[in-house]
Structure 1
Amino acid sequence: MSKEYDVEGAEGLAREALSMAISDAVPIYERLVSSFPSAAKYWKQYAEAHMCMNNDDETKQIFNRCLLNCWHTPLWLCYIRFIRKLNDNKGLHPQEETLKAFEFTLSYLAPDISSGPLWIQYIAFLKSLPSLQDSQRITALRKTFQRAIVIPSHHLEQLWRDYETFENSVSRALAKGLISEYQPKYNSARAVYRERKKFFDEIDWNMLAVPPSGSSKAISCFLTTI
């Protein structure tokens, strides 16, 4: 296989880049993401290297290049962290930008089995918004919880418990009806999650995408995904 797709060498370069100044590391990151454009872990490491140096423009450019090609939750959580770094505690308009970033992210990753942390962070963000009146906050939180608890994700049970706690804190009388309404939907999502997890657990999410070599291992890896 071409040296361009040397997986072991790429992993070594990524480790070396961690200890380099960002100016020296950029050519390495560019080489990595050029050879492995779908490798979310390299894009994330690249973005975080710039974030550590407060290179906001460069970080934005990296996310613009990679997000829509890498639907990988840790990468998008890094994007949310960056947006919050720019906007938190800076007034109403920046908070709206963060809100848009969460909705933008969920428009792509909401159905993902690993989307739980996105929902949890979004809910925490809504709870913290000083710009929302109590009634607006309750409505926004209820809608978000009700979207999250029908997604077959790793954090489904936690989200359901949090939803029950939320509704009971608002109104025990109202909570009984709402929880009864959503219990079957939650149960259905939980059943789907159990089946989906069987397939998810068979995937090596850190494996780099390379042209097929025709080896028995490559063929075996391919067959497990179909």
Structure 2
Amino acid sequence: MMMNLFSTFDPSTSILNLSLNWMSTIMGLLMIPMSYWFIPSRMSIMWINIINILHKEFKTLLGLFNHKGSTFMFISLFSFILFNNFMGLFPYIYTSTSHMSMTLSLALPLWLSFMMFGWMNHTQHMFAHLMPQGTPALLMPFMVCIETISNIIRPGTLAVRLAANMIAGHLLLTLLGNTGPSMNSSLLSILILTQLLLLTLEFAVSIIQSYVFAILSTLYSSEVI
């Protein structure tokens, strides 16, 4: 039963042995640039306002030492994850952000680039991060080990957080949806209402998780400067 339940997330959709599961990720690259060829609509104006708000937020988190254009990297990351999260809410569309292969490929290169930049250009500052100020001498070796481990597992926590939150809601929707054929009409209406409420919750989770991923990536980058 558990294998059948999780098999809904297996990459199995194909035409002539050509996998189409990641097509939803490619669709964003094809659809988004088209919007810049038209007169700005209300949707475009709303999206521009969201980008401006995110730019100010990321600029504040990066502090005074941020490089020009660095905030747009995190805005692009937020937009990419948000689009893929939304695509997964449509029926029969593969949710790419529910797989570790997708989330870890986003988190690990970011973390590695931050670490390489920090240790190569701000080595003394990076060593200072391993030892919190005011730590007793007896606890210093333990604090270095704890800080090192917490730094190493950061890409894993970013990837697992996004994948787990995206797959949890979809599993719950799948479990409730499988009980529909065995219900009577009165219970079925309650089930449909519950599914709509859960779908609204998943809509909010999609926004929150993309925002959390981008914010934490920004905080991790601000520590290496």
TM-score band by shorter chain is under 0.3
When normalised by structure 2's length, the TM-score is 0.25
* Larger relative contact order (Cα-Cα within 8 Å, sequence gap ≥ 6): 2
When normalised by structure 1's length, the TM-score is 0.25
- Which is richer in helix? 2
